Amino acid sequence: MKQIPNARLNLSALRQPMLGFGGSQTFNGDLLHDFPGRDKVYEALFQDLKLDFYRLRNFHDYAGQQTRFDTLIQDFARGALKYGRGKGRGAKAPVRTMFTAWSPPARLKSNNLVSGRSDGTDKGLENATLKPTADGASYVYDDYAHWWLESVQQFKKLSGAYPDYISLQNELDLSVPYEGCRFLPTEGKTREGYALAGYDKALAAVSDLIRKTLGKNAPKIVGPEPFTIQVDGSGKGRVQSYVTPDVLARLDALAFHIYGSGAEKADQTQFHNALKAQRVAFPKTPLLQTEFLEGDTFLKLATQIHDTLVIGEASAYFIWMASRSFHTPSWGMVYFDPNTGVIERRERFYAMKHYSAFVGEGWSRVEAECADPEIRLSAFVQPQQKQAVAVLLNPTDKEKKVALTPPLGYNSAEIFRSSQGEDGERWRPLGKLPPDNTLTLLKRSLVTVRFF
């Protein structure tokens, strides 16, 4: 008889603290506000999926859009506050809001547009940044800081609470035809000769003003939130190129995206190397992956989450869109149909749920090992609640069996399983761990075991 491979958790070998899992609600996702059944969407996101973060867009003071901004922030933030705490979340911490800007208002931009290109088209110059000062000697950092202060104060007025986290600029390393504002690490010129504002001075102005004005109520600040973590020819990752010691001292966590880093490729070597390089550069700072669209299948998303948490030792993983009215596998975890009122939990919803249902703020990842090298195993512990979670991913086209040894002192367990495909299992409860501790992992499946 073929021996079943063993898997073990080492709860005393703590790795990174966890903050949890999130998704954005903006742009086409703004249509959620117009959906009559949106309370059911909030319930799905915050009480079933149990997201830890809701990422919302700061477009306060955009010309002609203030009413829309006020309406959306009031509804989305209050939805998170209403459904993101209490008994419906089990033992999980309250949902945290993250407030992110794609661009400051046009009045603060060098091109007088919210677009990240000179003329607002994809053919425009890649020189859109903060507006220079009247003497041309610097940029309007002080005005930018006051806009951010006014934005978080408006957020508080609309929702009843300040945002928990802010990120000054989404993908500051790109010049895009949609909303954008490019920053260099410090004031200077690009290789093409375009003069751009410096992230270091922008961050200093915003953090100093907000913390001085709001004191203990000031949101935590994350950044720099570049498009990629790709490693350049010198061996330096994109986040590392922006984060000097002074910048790091003003950030509560480092935020980044993983586009262009090899995460979507069949060969994961480039992605894994980028994750490792970033962790080596910042061994003691929380790392938050705050947006990624790719991972259009159950298995791809689960693999990207696992690798980002285990290889990259990130404390959080965000999907690009939490809910959307587009019935496309890679767009949104919850689909809502404005015509019929139908709400559907998409396949990717369950890929994330295997991690987010229990693990979040207050948890830590721990070391774990599995004798089957094809199985991806991650493990987490919440010692105050005496809970531990193991997530096992079988990416192969064959069924697998694993004997999972219960951690010492944990006498009970519950098991849940999902598998890829429209006809696959969806968070199927499998009861207790059997006497021989054997788990059956279907082909292309995830199994979550909660010990308590």
Residue 443 in tokens? 């082909």
Question: 285: how many CB neighbours lie within 10 A of its CB?
Answer: 18
Domains annotated for the chain, with CATH where assigned, are: 6-10+368-451 (2.60.40.1180), 20-361 (3.20.20.80)
Exposed/middle/buried for residue 367 (C-beta within 10 Å: 0-12, 13-18, 19+) = middle
Q: What pLDDT, on a 0 to 100 scale, did the predictor assign at position 233? A: 85
Per-residue model confidence (pLDDT) at position 319: 96
Q: What is the share, in percent, of the chain residues with pLDDT greater than 70?
A: 99
H/E element, 23: strand 20-24
pLDDT at residue 282, rounded to an integer: 98
Which of 224, 240, 247 lies closest to 282 in space, CA to CA? 240
Task: For residue 364, give the nearest of 17, 123, 124, 68 by alpha carbon.
Answer: 17
What pLDDT sits at residue 235? 85
pTM for the whole thing? Answer: 0.97
Cβ–Cβ under 8 Å, residues 418 and 446: yes
Q: What is the pLDDT of residue 1?
A: 63
Q: Which residues of the chain have pLDDT under 70?
A: 1, 329-330
C-alpha–C-alpha distance, residues 271 and 311, integer Å? 10
- Write down the pLDDT at residue 234: 86
